[in-house]
Amino acid sequence: MMSNYLGLSCTPNPCKNGASCVPGNRIGEGHCECPSTYVGEYCQHPNPCHTSQQRCEHGGSCRVVTKPKSAPNFACDCPVGYTSTFCEIELPNVCQLNPCKNGVCHLESLKNYTCSCSPGYRGANCEHIDHCTINGSSPCKNDAKCIPEDTPPGYRCICDEGFTGTNCLQ
């Protein structure tokens, strides 16, 4: 990640810490391209987001915050469900109620979620057995298409031409 700062003359190179000065079309329109470890008009400040340890927890992303006449600082942009300086505090959310019976809950907002169902389960909350895949193979035979259903036996087979029966065996 390179940061660009505009408004410099590149002769001599005013950029620090191994940064490149890129001249503009006119004198005074150049800018420094900083390595990811430095920020600032002249790449003179260490990047507060580039440390040996991750600044933001739980998948938060670090953002450099600059203010005039002070060294740059950082802020964490937290994912849904987390807050505080380092995204270290989990907010109460719907996934804590374990709505996904046989799967994993993914927050979309504090009140909205989607479920990724474990193999063999289906439904908005992974509450239905998927009889088409539960045993690793379809109960429908002879290349028939298996359609999950909520009524017994829990599936319907669409048989290829020449086959009939619940499982397309006849």
pTM of the model: 0.58
CA distance 119 to 107: 20
Overall size of the chain counted in residues: 170
Q: Do domains 1-47 and 95-128 have the same CATH topology?
A: yes
pLDDT of residue 1: 43
Domain boundaries, the chain: 1-47, 54-91, 95-128, 136-170
What confidence tier does 5 reach under pLDDT thresholds 50, 70, 90? very low
pLDDT above 60 for 4 = no
Tens-place pLDDT, residues 50-61: 988 889 999 999
Q: What is the CATH code of the structural domain delimited by 95-128?
A: 2.10.25.10
For domain 1-47, the CATH architecture is: Ribbon (2.10)
Each residue's pLDDT tens digit, 107-159: 998 889 999 999 889 999 999 989 998 777 889 999 999 999 888 888 999 99
Which residue is it, tokens 């190179």? 13
CATH homologous superfamily of 54-91 equals: Laminin (2.10.25.10)
136-170: CATH number: 2.10.25.10
The pLDDT, as a whole number, for residue 8 is 65
DSSP class of residue 97 equals G
